[in-house]
C-alpha cells in the first residue's frame, strides 16, 4: 500500500486523546516549535487538558440574557482554525493519490488564513505551495505566508474580490503538476467543520444553561465553518443557523457586492460547499461596527471594567478576537434579540483567528478617527454591543428563499464548469449526509496509509 505523510485523521482531530499514547506527549511538546511536523496532531479545538477551547462571554459585554459561547480558533497551529480545512483537503488528496509530495505544487486560494494554513502545512508536509489572495489584506497575513515559505500570487482588490483569486486559481490549476486546495469547492472543508467543529461546539455548551444549542452563528467566507451547524442540528433539531454577512457586501441576502473591511468573510458568492438548506437566517453586520467592536476589546479596559466586567476577563478577551470574530459576536447578539432567547439558551459562535494579525487594522482606525478616548469608547460600546438592533435580518427558511440561494449558487459556479445536475443534487440533505459519511473511509485510510518515520 502506498504511503502518505504522517498526520491525524478526522477522529483524532476531534479527540486527540485517541492519538497513539507513545506520541501524545511528543505532540504536546511540539507546540513550542511551530516547525515540528508533529504539530499536525495539534489541529484540534481542544486545549492540552482536553477541554474545548472556548470563552463564555460576560453578559455585561453582550447585554443579552442568553449565553454566548465562542470557540477560540487562534490556538490552532498557524494561528487560526483554517489550518484544519487546509490539512483535511491535502490529506484526502494524499489518500486518493491525487497529491504527491515532490510531484505536485499546491495552490491555496484565500483571503489570508486559509492561505496561511496552506503555507504552514505544506512546509510541514514538504510540498511547494503558492497562495493566491487579494493584494489589500492586512500586511500581517502576507508576512506569515512568507514566514512559512510559500509563494504569493496577488490579485487586485479587497476581501470582496475573492472571485478574482478563484479565477486565477482555476487558470493556474490547468498547469500540469498544480493542485488547488479549493476551499470554496471541496468537501474536506465541509467534513472537517461538520465533524470536528460540530461535535466540539456540542461539547462546548455542556454544563451551560440547558446544555443545548439554540443558535449557531457564523459569517461565511468559504462557509466551511457553517457546516458545524449541520451536525449541531442533528443533536439539537430546534437549533437555528444564522449566516452573517457584512452590511456593505450582502451577497447572500440580496446580491449586494460592495467592498468591506471584515477580512475572511463576505466573499461575494454563495460557495459551492455552503449547504443553504440549513441556513435559517442571514443577518447583516456593519464592518465599521466590527472594527470598532474590536478596538473596544483591545483598548476599552477601563470602560468595560466600569460595566462590571472582571479585570481578568477583560484581559483574557484582548487577544481572542479578530474582526470577523467580533462580527460573529455582534451577529449572535442581534439574533438572540430577534429570537428572544432567554438565560437558559446557548448561542455558539467562532473566533476564527486572534488579534495577532490585526494591529494594522486598528492602526488604520486610529488614523482615520479624530480622537478615541474613553468617552468615545464608552459611546461605541453602548451603541455597538448594548444597543445592537434587530434590523437587517432575513428569514431564509421559506422555499422561495432557498430557490433564490440555489440560483445564486448556480450563477456563481456553473461558469467554473460544474454540472447543473451536481448543483441540483445539493438541494437534498442526502447529498450532504452522503458527503459527510465519506469521513469514515478517510478516517480508516489515513490511519492505515500514514508512514511514521517522517
Ligand atoms: C478571519 C476569518 N474569519 C472567518 C472566516 C470564514 O470562515 P469559513 O471559510 O469557514 O466560512 C475566515 C476564512 O478564511 C477567516 O479567515
Q: Specify the pLDDT at position 452.
A: 67
Instruction: Determine phi and psi for 245, rounding to 5 degrees.
Output: -130, 155
* Intervals of CATH 3.40.50.1100 along the chain: 54-78+193-395, 83-182
Query: Residue 23 carries which DSSP code?
Result: H
Average pLDDT over residues 200-220: 98
Look at ligand 1, atom 13, and give the residue with the nearest C-alpha.
264
Ligand 1 site-directed mutation target among 265, 272, 323, 326, most atoms within 8 Å of CB: 265
**CA angle 26–32–37, rounded 5-degree value:** 55
Confidence tier at 267 by pLDDT (50, 70, 90): confident
165 in ligand 1 pocket by Cβ < 6 Å? no
Which of 229, 278, 283 lies closest to 252 in space, CA to CA? 283
Contacts for 373 with CB less than 8 Å, ≥ 6 apart = none
Q: Torsion angle, CA of 116/117/120/122, rounded to 10 degrees?
A: -120
Cα separation, 361 vs 367, in Å, equals 10
Q: Ligand 1 centre and the CA of 24: distance in Å?
A: 29
Q: Specify the pLDDT at position 162.
A: 82
Average pLDDT over residues 421-427: 98
Angle between helices 323-339 and 287-299 (to 10 degrees): 110
Cα separation, 137 vs 112, in Å, equals 7
Start-to-end C-alpha separation, the chain:
17
325 in ligand 1 pocket by Cβ < 6 Å? no
Q: What is the pLDDT of residues 20-71, one digit of tens each?
A: 889 999 999 999 999 999 999 999 999 999 999 999 999 999 999 999 999 9
Check pLDDT > 70 for residue 11. Answer: yes
114 in ligand 1 pocket by Cβ < 6 Å? yes
265 in ligand 1 pocket by Cβ < 6 Å? yes
Give the DSSP H or E segment for 68.
Answer: strand 67-72
Look at ligand 1, atom 14, and give the residue with the nearest C-alpha.
264
Task: For 242-285, give the DSSP string.
Answer: EEEEETT--HHHH------S-TTS--SS--TT--GGG--EEEEE
Task: For 318-338, give the DSSP string.
Answer: TTT--HHHHHHHHHHHHHHHH
Which ligand 1 atom sits closest to the C-alpha of 85? Answer: 10
User: Model pTM?
Assistant: 0.97
Residue 391: how many other CB atoms lie within 10 Å: 10
Cα separation, 195 vs 190, in Å, equals 8
264 in ligand 1 pocket by Cβ < 6 Å? yes
Average pLDDT over residues 363-390: 97
Average pLDDT over residues 265-288: 97
Look at ligand 1, atom 16, and give the residue with the nearest C-alpha.
264
Instruction: Determine phi and psi for 54, rounding to 5 degrees.
Output: -150, 155
Q: Specify the pLDDT at position 454.
A: 45
Q: What is the pLDDT of residues 165-179, one digit of tens each?
A: 989 999 999 999 999
Express as a percent the part of the chain with pLDDT over 70. Answer: 98
Check pLDDT > 80 for residue 2. Answer: no
Cα separation, 97 vs 86, in Å, equals 17
Q: Which of 129-143, 173-187, 298-312 shows the lowest per-residue confidence on average (mean pLDDT)? A: 129-143
Check pLDDT > 80 for residue 158. Answer: no
**CA angle 49–51–55, rounded 5-degree value:** 120
Check pLDDT > 60 for residue 94. Answer: yes
351 in ligand 1 pocket by Cβ < 6 Å? no
Would you call 287 exposed, middle or buried from its count of C-beta atoms within 10 A (0-12, 13-18, 19+)? buried
Ligand 1 site-directed mutation target among 73, 74, 78, 82, most atoms within 8 Å of CB: 82
Which of 45, 74, 158 lies closest to 356 in space, CA to CA? 74
Q: Which of 65-79, 258-272, 330-344 shows the lowest per-residue confidence on average (mean pLDDT)? A: 258-272
User: Which CATH fold topology does 54-78+193-395 show?
Assistant: Rossmann fold (3.40.50)
Would you call 107 exposed, middle or buried from its count of C-beta atoms within 10 A (0-12, 13-18, 19+)? buried
User: Which CATH fold topology does 83-182 show?
Assistant: Rossmann fold (3.40.50)
Cα separation, 295 vs 277, in Å, equals 35
Which of 310, 365, 414 lies closest to 55 in space, CA to CA? 310
Q: Sign of the C-alpha dihedral, residues 258, 261, 89, 126?
A: positive
Query: Residue 184 carries which DSSP code?
Result: T
Q: Please, what is the average pLDDT of the chain?
A: 96
Q: Specify the pLDDT at position 159.
A: 56
Cα separation, 106 vs 305, in Å, equals 47
Check pLDDT > 70 for residue 434. Answer: yes
Q: Ligand 1 centre and the CA of 223: distance in Å?
A: 8
Cα separation, 436 vs 210, in Å, equals 28
Q: What is the pLDDT of residues 118-139, one digit of tens each?
A: 999 999 999 999 999 988 888 8
Contact 268, 259 (CB under 8 A): no
Check pLDDT > 80 for residue 1. Answer: no
Which ligand 1 atom sits closest to the C-alpha of 218? Answer: 11
Amino acid at each position: 500500500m502506498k504511503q502518505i505523510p504522517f498526520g491525524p485523521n478526522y477522529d483524532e482531530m476531534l479527540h486527540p486523546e485517541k492519538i497513539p499514547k507513545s506520541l501524545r506527549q511528543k505532540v504536546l511538546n511540539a507546540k513550542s516549535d511551530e516547525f515540528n511536523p508533529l504539530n499536525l496532531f495539534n489541529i484540534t479545538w481542544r486545549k492540552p487538558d482536553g477541554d474545548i477551547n472556548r470563552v463564555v462571554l460576560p453578559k455585561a459585554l453582550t447585554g443579552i440574557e442568553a449565553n454566548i459561547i465562542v470557540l477560540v480558533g487562534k490556538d490552532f497551529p498557524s494561528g487560526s482554525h483554517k489550518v484544519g480545512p487546509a490539512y483535511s483537503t491535502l490529506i484526502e488528496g494524499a489518500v486518493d493519490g491525487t497529491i504527491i509530495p515532490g510531484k505536485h505544487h499546491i495552490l491555496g486560494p484565500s483571503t489570508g488564513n486559509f492561505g496561511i494554513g496552506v503555507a504552514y502545512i505544506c512546509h510541514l508536509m514538504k510540498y511547494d505551495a503558492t497562495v493566491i489572495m487579494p493584494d489589500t489584506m492586512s500586511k500581517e497575513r502576507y508576512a506569515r505566508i512568507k514566514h512559512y515559505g510559500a509563494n504569493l500570487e496577488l490579485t487586485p482588490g479587497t476581501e470582496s474580490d475573492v472571485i478574482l483569486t478563484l479565477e486565477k486559481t482555476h487558470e493556474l490549476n490547468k498547469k500540469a503538476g498544480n493542485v488547488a486546495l479549493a476551499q470554496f469547492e471541496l468537501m474536506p472543508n465541509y467534513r472537517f467543520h461538520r465533524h470536528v467543529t460540530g461535535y466540539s461546539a456540542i461539547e462546548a455548551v455542556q454544563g451551560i444553561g440547558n446544555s443545548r444549542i439554540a443558535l449557531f452563528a457564523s459569517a461565511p467566507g468559504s462557509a466551511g465553518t457553517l457546516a458545524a451547524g449541520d451536525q449541531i442540528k442533528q443533536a439539537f433539531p430546534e437549533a437555528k443557523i444564522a449566516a452573517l454577512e457584512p452590511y456593505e457586501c450582502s451577497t447572500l441576502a440580496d446580491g449586494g457586492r460592495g467592498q468591506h473591511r471584515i477580512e475572511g468573510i463576505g466573499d461575494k458568492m454563495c460557495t459551492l460547499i455552503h449547504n443553504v438548506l440549513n441556513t435559517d437566517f442571514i443577518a447583516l453586520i456593519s464592518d465599521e461596527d466590527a472594527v470598532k467592536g474590536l478596538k473596544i476589546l483591545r483598548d476599552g479596559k477601563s470602560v468595560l471594567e466600569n460595566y462590571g466586567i472582571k479585570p481578568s476577563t477583560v484581559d483574557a478577551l484582548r487577544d481572542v478576537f479578530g474582526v470577523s470574530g467580533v462580527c460573529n459576536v455582534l451577529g449572535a447578539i442581534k439574533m438572540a434579540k430577534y429570537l428572544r432567547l432567554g438565560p437558559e439558551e446557548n448561542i455558539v459562535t467562532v473566533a476564527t483567528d486572534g488579534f495577532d494579525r490585526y494591529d494594522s487594522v486598528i492602526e488604520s482606525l486610529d488614523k482615520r478617527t479624530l480622537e478615541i478616548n474613553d468617552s468615545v469608547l464608552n459611546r461605541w460600546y453602548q451603541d455597538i454591543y448594548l444597543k445592537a438592533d434587530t434590523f437587517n435580518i432575513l428569514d431564509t427558511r421559506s422555499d422561495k428563499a432557498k430557490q433564490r440561494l440555489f440560483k445564486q449558487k448556480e450563477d456563481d459556479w456553473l461558469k467554473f464548469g460544474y454540472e447543473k445536475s451536481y448543483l441540483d443534487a445539493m438541494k437534498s440533505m442526502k447529498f450532504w449526509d452522503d458527503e459527510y459519511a465519506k469521513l469514515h473511509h478517510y478516517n480508516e485510510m489515513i490511519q492505515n496509509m500514514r508512514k511514521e518515520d517522517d
